[in-house]
Every structure is written in C-alpha cells, then in structure tokens.
Structure 1
Amino acid sequence: MSSPPPPKPVACGDGWLSLSISTESGESNKRLRRGGGGGAVEDDGCVLHDEVLLAVFAASSLETDDLVRCAATCRRWRRLVSGDAEYICGLKPLSSRYVEALAVGFFHQSRDQEDDGDSGAPPRFVPLPSFSSRFAGADLHMAFDDLLFRNSRLVASRNGRLVLELQRSSRAAVLRLVVCNPMTGDMSILPILSGKDRPGHYACALLTADDLHHTEDPLPTHGHGSAAAFRLLVVYKRRKFTACRSYSSNTNAWGKEGKLTGVKIGGRRLGEMSGGVAARGAVFWLSKNLVFGFGLDTMEATAENIPWKWNSKLCFCHGSPVENRRLAVSPSDGRLCAVQVERHVSNSSVTINVISRRHDEYGVGGSKGIRRWEWEKTRNVELGGLIPLRDVKRICLRGVCEKSGVVFLTTGADMYAEQTDMAMYALDMEKKEARLVRAPPGRCRRSSSSFFGYEMDRVTYLASLSHGVRC
C-alpha cells in the first residue's frame, strides 16, 4: 500500500502583518501597487528602472536599518523595499548590527493551575508597547486557535517562527510538532513520529536559510517561498548513541535518522534543553553549565563546560547560580555567545554581560581546534540606574532576542523564586536602556512554564514597511 502524501504548509488564518495591512485605506494600497498608473504618484525624480534600484538595494552594503531609511524616502522606494523584501534579503548577508525593531514581544505559557488557572491553555503573546502602536487594529491576542493548540507545549522560538508540540489527552505514543509564523499566518503541521520513530526526551532547533548558508545542504535564499523555508532538527537518545532527525519544509518530510559521533548525552538532559541556536555551521544547546552542539556537516558532537570563573559571581535564579544565562549569536561576527547576569559582591552592583566562544581552528562542531570563552567588556550593561534594585534579591534572565539585542529580565524579592515576580523589563543591550513591560503573574520555574522572546525575521520586517515606516 502506498504511503499517504506528506502534509503541506497551511495557513492558520490571517497573521498580524496581513491584519494590520488590511486596516490601511484602499486608496493608499492602490498608490503602492505596481503599474496601474501609479507612476505619477510615485515620481521620485530618479530615472533608474525598478530593477536597477532593487539590484542596488540587494547588492550594496546597506544594513537593515539603512533599508528602512530608504523606504522612508519616497513612495516608490517604500514599495520596492517592502514588496521585494524576499529578493533583497536573499542576496544580502546578515546584518552586523542589532535591529531593535525586530523585537516585538514575548510568548509565555504556564502549565501550573496555581499560576494560570488553566493548565491546558495555549501560549499567550504579550507585545512590546512599540509593536502594539505600530500594529494597531490587528488582534494580537489571538495568535492560536484554541481548539488546535489546546494542551500544546511551546518548545522553541527563533527567526519569527514558533515550534509547538501538540499534545492529546489520550497521550498516544506520537510526537506531532507545528511550526508557525504569527506575523504571516503560515503554519506547517509536521508528519507525526510514532512507534519506533518517536523520540523520548528531545531537544530541537529551528534553522532558516541564514543559518545554513555556509553548510553543504543550504536552503534556497531567493525565489517564491524561500522566505518561509526552514529546517527543524530533533536530537534524542537511542540505546547506544545520540540520534538526530531533520524535517525540511522543501520536502515536507522527515529525513532518515542520523547518528551523532563524538560525545553522547543523556535523554533527560536533552529534554531540559530549550530551543537551540545556530552559529557558523553548527547548532548548540545549553543545559545549566554544559554547552552541547554538533556540526551540521560533520555530525560530530561536542560537549563543553563554561569555565567556572564565569559562575562564581552569578545571581541565583531558582536557587542555582548556573541557570541564569541564555545562548545567543553575536550579530557582529556570528560567534556563539552566552548572555548572563553577574552580581559583584564588592559593591552589590548587577551587570548583564556577554561571554563569547572563540574557535581558532577547523569547524565549530569538530573536536580539533582551540575553544575558549572570552569576556566582551564593551557589551557590559550595568543595571544600576536602569531598573529599581531596592528590595530586589534576584534577577532572572528570561529570554534573549539575538538579532535585536533585547533581553527580558524579571526581578523578585526572594532568592529562590518562591514568590511571584515583582516586575519585568525589556533591556536594549545596544542602547543600554530598560523599559518596564506588562508581565504575566508567575515565578521563574522551568518545570512548569516556558518563556520565549519573539522577534520578526528580516523579510517580514521589511514587508511590514508597506503600511507605514517608523525609523
């Protein structure tokens, strides 16, 4: 009997971007449309054809924020930048600077009835004030269909996409994952993994074309649908080895199970790892003080401990001095880094600092070469003066948006997170500014809750300029 055709991506309703654009007046949309006599309205005095201008936008050294300024110049440039964002980003390397506007808020989910009142509720979205004002009119609170996503579990958030595990009350022995983009409304329900294919405890990583650019099996960077292309890696434990399986949106199917060489890691520890990050052809996860990763081309796994000299001064978070950090990727050089909270005993000051992983030889995932962590003093952010620290006994690092440089922090009056959080802040690492944001009631307890900062991908961000530009 032939196997059923693989599922194809479907739309989960209008995304925030389309809902916001639909609120624009019809006349404005007509002016931004190609052709149709719009030349008189769009006349910018430039004799270059659209194709030539697009080539300049795509091939030049313009950063993302530079393209935003170009879009603000005139209607014609705004139409070109937003309407052909996929083409421009497909030919342009990653930005070497933070883009603050990419951060739009965070998703949170509590699985504790004491905190939430409904342990089966889908994840909830809390927007930053700037995002709410820019997307006025869009229903930002209805990111998920309650029926489909009820009893789901949020497992990862990266590059504008979310990964959720659908769970059923019958507790069938299957793994069903969903990858969706709330901004565009795109959703892919992945084929189930059941029977001998179903992993136990697992860690996952969501990769896009930018992550796979320098690997032997890249995703398309231009063409129809390339902006939504992704690959999802699932790492899990078999009896005698650590296994990996990959789903590709190009084939709408899971690949064959692969075997990681090098170090092995226990299944329970894999289940404790949050969504992974990709850096220089490898993918990494963090579990307490252990960084586990493997090369995407070599499939060789490594495990290394962050040196203890970086742990001695960390603030306690849920009673542990080594959980108050998150992995990210530096936009300036693409290196793996760890963002963490540091408390100085001498003067009681609290700092958010960054340590980066330096790899001098061979591939990042290989066993050869020198790997060491370095303190980036220029990226230190002293919290004194930015947030009230009086009566604060703990500062918990909840999430990091790696492309926008926004870090989410919560403060508490007790050290071991037995009381509810006092407040939550969004810290801009580049501008060194902190803003109070609306926070759900809760405590920093990983076993019963999940928290993921959410930011747009570059293509969606530039496309959003079609209904208004804010520089």
Structure 2
Amino acid sequence: MEKKGTIARRSLAGTPRAGPSGEGSLETLPDDVVVEILVRVPDVADLFRCAATCKRCRLLIAEPSFLRRRWPEGVSHLSSLLGLFAVQQPREEPTEGDSTAAPMPPFTPVPWCSLGERYSFLTCPWPPDSQAAVLTSRRGLLVLRFVPLNEPTNGYEKTMNLALYDPIAGKGRDLPELKSDRPFQIEGCALLTRADCCPDETRGATSWSFFKVLIIGGDRDEPRHSLHVFTSTTESSSSWSTPRECYDSLEDDDTRVVSQQTTAVVCHGGIAHWLFKNASNLYALSVCARTTEMTLTRLPVTPDQTQPLLGVNNDGTPCLLRLDGKCFMLEIWTRRIDPMSGDSNTGHWHRTKMIKLQRPKRGKIDQAQCVCVGQTSGILLVKDNQEDMYIVDLQTGAMQAVTNWFRGIVVMAIPFEMDWPEFFTRHLANTRIERAKLGGVL
C-alpha cells in the first residue's frame, strides 16, 4: 500500500497535464479537498514543488491557516533541523594521500534534510585571507565572524568583523565593525528577527528589513562582560549601541564567570537567554531585545561534567537540560513565573520533569556531555567519553547514534534550523514564486 504522501505527490504531479474535459484537473476539486491533499505531503521540498504547479496551490499553501496546520505552534518539528555547523577535529592525524587530509565541510546535513544534494556541503563565504566562524543561527539565518588567517589571535580583539548571512538564498549583509577600547572575546551571541521582536506584524516581511544582533563580550583583563546591540535600520549610519556592563561581582565571589553556552536561546517576547558558570554556580543571563533590560539568575544546579544547556519549552519559556553521567535520565528544569510580579524575566527554577532515556541496545555510553540543543526541532546532541555522538528526542527520550554523521571529533556544534512557515510565507505570498530554489525543485 502506498503512503499518503506518495498519493498526494502523484495526485498533484498530474494536474498540469489534465485532459480537455477537465478530468483529473485540480480545478475540479474544491479547495478543502486540495488542502487535505497538500497537508499530507510529507517532504518540504515536495510541498514547495506543489506550490510551483499553479497559482491556486501557491495561494492555498501560503495561507496562514494552512501553515499553522502543517507546522502547529508549540510543537517540535524534526524537519526544521537541516543540519549542524560543527567545529571538528580529525579523529587521527591525516597521512599523505589519505582522504581525511581534505578540508572538512563546516556543515553536516541530517539524513532527512529537505535541501537536496545541492546543499549537501553548505558553506559560508568569507573575504580573502579570512575564515568564517558561525556564532549563532536563527530561523535559517546565520551570524558570522570573519577571522584573518595571517594574524595570530588568542580570541581577544579590539575590533571584530561580523555579517548576517542567508545560506539558502546565498546572500549576506555586513554589519558595522564591533569595537571596544579593551581587548575582548565573544562569549555570547543572539539573533532576533522581526518574528521574534514583532510577532503581531506581517510574517511575510523580508528577513533583512528588521533584525537585532546581541553580543556578550568578555574582557580579557577583568572578570566582566559587556552587552553590544545592533538593530538594523534603513540608515547607512547604523552602528552598535554603547556597551553596557552585564553584571557586577556575583555574591562577593571574585571567581571569573565564563560562558557555558555561546549561542543564546530565544523565547517568546524576544528575550535571549545565555548560560554562564563559575567554579560553584550556574547562572542564566536574560536580555530583553526590545528594552535591553538584563537580569541574572542563579540556578539551583551546580556545574558538573555533563555540561547542562538551556533550551526552550513548547510554551516558549526557557528550560535547563541536564543528563546524569551514565546517560540514563534527562532532567528538565523550568523557570516558574510569578504572575503577580508582572516581570517575565523573574522567577524560580524547579526540576519539573525526568525523562528516562531509551539508549541504543548496542554500545556503552559513559560520561555523556551535552553539546547543543535544537530550539524548534526538539533534539539534544550529546557525546560520551569515547567521542561517540547521539541525538536525543526531548519528547520521547529515544537516542540515536549519529557518530557517522561527522568526520572528526565534535568540539562544538550549532544547529541550523528553518522556520518553515516564515520561509513559505516569504517566498509564496507575492504574485509569483521567487526564483530562489529549494533543493533544486523549481
């Protein structure tokens, strides 16, 4: 028996070649029937191909009600994860003539990636004599930092060059130079789009029309961090805001606070959250993108070898994910908001859920560490002391070995996730489909 998705693809594939009598033509079917066919198309690239068959399909797919049904809000969608930008080290020293001597692609697509072979080795552009580093990813966009190859650096600089890049469309926008009077390094980065900061406005607006980039810079000589904010405008003189100190000394503790999670998680209301730690405590640093108000909350969890990470609950609130060392259980800590305070940045953290992990039957997992978490795909990437990699489904606790996805030891990774409703609205809401191809389907 054929799957529903196969039937849907065949039904729509034959519509442009309908006979003179109209038999088999899409025009003979009512809208609600066509919608039922379209909503059952499982592959994103196939759905985009359906939108290219005729104006009627394009308008039906671009309808907000259809997109909400296809990708319900508050539900994790594995298809949103297209791959990971991973910093990798070779598993062994390459020998002459060995294939591992070739440069490793920074982008690792997941097997179910809808982009097609055209994007199997997605790369980022960079100026001559420079290399690009991915700082964060949000809704199919990247924030890149360009590092000169001929200038040795320890990560601390007074001037940094950044850019916003859309790897699907293949276009980018340079940001103004990020400058400081003192050498600093980037310990936190967040990207917020119009959908994050202005959710009530039209979703079809271009991603370049409005966005914010938040940078947390760590001072080289003093234990302090500063917040830098860039807001896109139509003015050519746009620049970074005056740096603001994130926090003073913590609880009379002079121990240096360092970033545990460079890529921020972004929650409802346009609030970015980072995880920091010192020798004895974990802290959540929260910044409201609209007001740049900052709060620092000490978490009731002590730092350990499992390297906990911040994530996002289905209701858009932040959570903390922590594995036990043997990788048998996953703890989820959630911040409970006091409704009387009127402040969404305050609240107490409590352990609200324990998920028993369904480990692979073969192999031994020991001393597992969290690597990164997908905000919309509902996955957690972990590795063990043997450098084996696993993906954890945060809803079911199922674990899948994914070591063969990578060509080396993963040091860090940034998930590349796509907001499909925003993508479809942006490309289909106009009178004609933009020529930007999705996996070569047009």
Contact persistence 2:158–2:181 (CA under 8 A): no
Distance across 2 between alignment mates of 1:302 and 1:457: 28
Other-structure match for 1:330: 313
Q: Which digits, 9 at most, give the CA deviation of each residue in 1:406-443, with x for residues without a partner? A: 22122334xxxxxxx1x322222234433332333544
Structure 1 residues 349, 267: CA separation in 2 closer, same or farther (over 3 Å shift)?
Answer: closer
- Counterpart among 239, 242, 265 of residue 277 in structure 1: 265
**Structure with the largest fraction of helix:** 1
Q: Which residue of 1 aligns with 2:276?
A: 287
Q: Report what 1:395 is aligned to.
A: 368
SS across alignment from 1:138: helix
Distance 2:127 2:218 in 1: 32
1:321 aligned onto 2:296: no
1:43 deviates by 1.3
- 2:287 aligned partner, one-letter code: F
Letter in 2 for 1:244: L
Q: Measured at CA, do residues 324 and 185 of structure 1 come closer, stay the same or move farther in structure 2, by a change above 3 Å?
A: same
Q: Give the Cα separation in 2 of the matches to 1:144 and 1:121.
A: 14
- Contact in 2 for aligned 1:227/1:459 (Cα 8 Å): no
Q: Secondary structure at the match of 1:152?
A: strand
TM-aligned CA deviation for residue 149 of structure 1: 8.8
Q: Say if 1:410 and 1:459 are closer, same or farther in 2 by CA, change over 3 A.
A: same
Residues 283 and 103 (structure 1 numbering): CA distance in 2 closer, same or farther, change over 3 Å? same
After superposition, give the CA deviation of every residue in 1:232-271 in whole Å (9 maximum; x if it has no partner). Answer: 1123367898543322344373343153576568997466
- The SS at the match of 1:412 is coil
Match of 1:357 in 2: 335
Q: How many residues align?
A: 384
Quote how far apart the aligned CAs of 1:155 are: 1.8
SS at match of 1:337: strand
The answer to whether the 8 Å contact 1:178/1:189 transfers is yes
Structure 1 residue 196: deviation in Å?
4.0
Is 1:233 aligned to 2:214, yes or no?
yes
**C-alpha offsets along residues 11-31 of structure 1, whole Å, 9 cap, x if unaligned?**
xxxxxxxxxxxxx9xx97995
Q: Which residue of 2 aligns with 1:12?
A: none
CA contact (8 A) 1:122 1:144 kept: no
Deviation at 1:405, TM superposition (A): 0.4
Partner SS state of residue 211, structure 1 = helix
Alpha-carbon displacement from aligned partner over 1:108-155 (angstroms, at most 9, x marks no partner): 123789778999968611111111xx4433142142247659532222
Does residue 434 (structure 1) correspond to residue 427 (structure 2)? The answer is: no
1:381 aligned to 2:363? Answer: no
Residue 5 of structure 2 corresponds to which residue in structure 1? none
Q: Name the amino acid aligned to 2:121.
A: H
Unaligned runs of 5+ in 1: 1-23, 33-37, 312-319, 414-420
Contact 1:85 1:459 survives alignment (8 Å): no
Does the 8 Å CA contact 1:235/1:245 hold for their aligned counterparts? yes
Q: Work out whether residues 275 and 283 of structure 2, in 8 Å CA contact, stay in contact via their aligned partners in 1.
A: yes
TM-score in terms of structure 1 length: 0.65
Alignment CA distance shift 1:209-1:122 (3 Å): farther
Residue 425 of structure 1: aligned partner: 390
Against the structure 1 CA distance between its residues 267 and 355, is the aligned structure 2 distance closer, same or farther, given a 3 Å change threshold?
same
Q: Is the deviation greater in 140-149 or in 425-434?
A: 140-149
- What is the CA–CA distance in structure 2 between the aligned matches of 1:138 and 1:454, rounded to whole Å? 16
Matched, 1:256 2:222: no
| CA offset digits 1:349-408 (Å, max 9, x no partner) | 61123211112122233xxx5x2222232xx43224x32474332222211111110221
2:298 to 292, 296, 305: 305
Cα distance, 1:99–1:116 mapped onto 2, change above 3 Å: farther
- Aligned ranges for residues 36-55 of structure 1 at < 5 Å? 41-43=25-27, 45-46=29-30
Choose 112-121 or 142-151, whichever is displaced more: 112-121
C-alpha separation between the residues in 1 aligned to 2:117 and 2:203? 31
**Cα displacement string for residues 321-350 of structure 1 (whole angstroms, at most 9, x for unaligned residues):** 15522212112x21111122124xxxx661
**Residue 211 to residue 263, structure 1, CA distance change in 2 (3 Å):** farther
CA distance in 2, matches of 1:85, 1:407: 32
Q: Please state how far the C-alpha of 1:206 moved relative to its aligned partner.
A: 0.9
What is residue 459 of structure 1 aligned with on the other side? 421
**Identity fraction in percent:** 18
Q: CA distance change for structure 1 residues 136 and 299 in 2, over 3 Å: closer, same or farther? A: closer
C-alpha contact (below 8 Å) 1:236/1:267 kept by paired residues: no
TM-score (norm 2): 0.69
- For the 8 Å contact 2:163–2:173, the answer to whether it is kept is yes
Instruction: Judge which range, 106-115 or 177-186, deviates more.
Output: 106-115
Residue identity in the other structure for 1:456: M
Give yes or no for contact 1:70–1:78 (8 Å, CA) kept in 2.
no
For residues 42-98 of structure 1, give each alpha carbon's deviation from its aligned partner in whole angstroms, at most 9, with x where no partner exists.
3153379x9xx9xxx9xxxx9x99x9999999966642355x3789879x9981111
Q: Is the 1:236–1:270 contact (alpha carbons within 8 Å) kept by the matching residues of 2?
A: no
Change (3 A) 1:177 1:88: farther
Q: Secondary structure at the match of 1:79?
A: helix
**Structure 2: gaps spanning 5 or more residues:** 1-8, 152-156
Quote the Cα distance in structure 2 between the aligned partners of 1:403 and 1:358.
21
Structure 2 distance, partners of 1:29, 1:204, is 47
Q: Does the 8 Å contact 1:87/1:223 carry over to 2?
A: no
Greater share of strand residues, 1 or 2?
2
Paired residues for 1:61-460 under 5 Å: 78-82=57-61, 84=62, 95-110=73-88, 124-131=106-113, 134-145=114-125, 150-171=130-151, 173-194=158-179, 196=181, 200-213=185-198, 221-226=202-207, 229-236=210-217, 243-251=226-234, 253-257=238-242, 259=244, 263=248, 269=257, 273-281=261-269, 282-288=271-277, 289-308=282-301, 311=302, 321=304, 324-331=307-314, 333-343=315-325, 350-360=328-338, 361-365=341-345, 371-377=347-353, 380-384=354-358, 386-388=359-361, 390-413=363-386, 421=387, 423-437=388-402, 438-443=404-409, 449-459=411-421
**Contact 1:291–1:303 (CA under 8 A) maintained in structure 2:** yes
User: Hey, what's the Cα distance between the residues in 2 that align with 1:250 and 1:341?
Assistant: 42
Contact 1:328 1:400 in 2 (8 A): yes
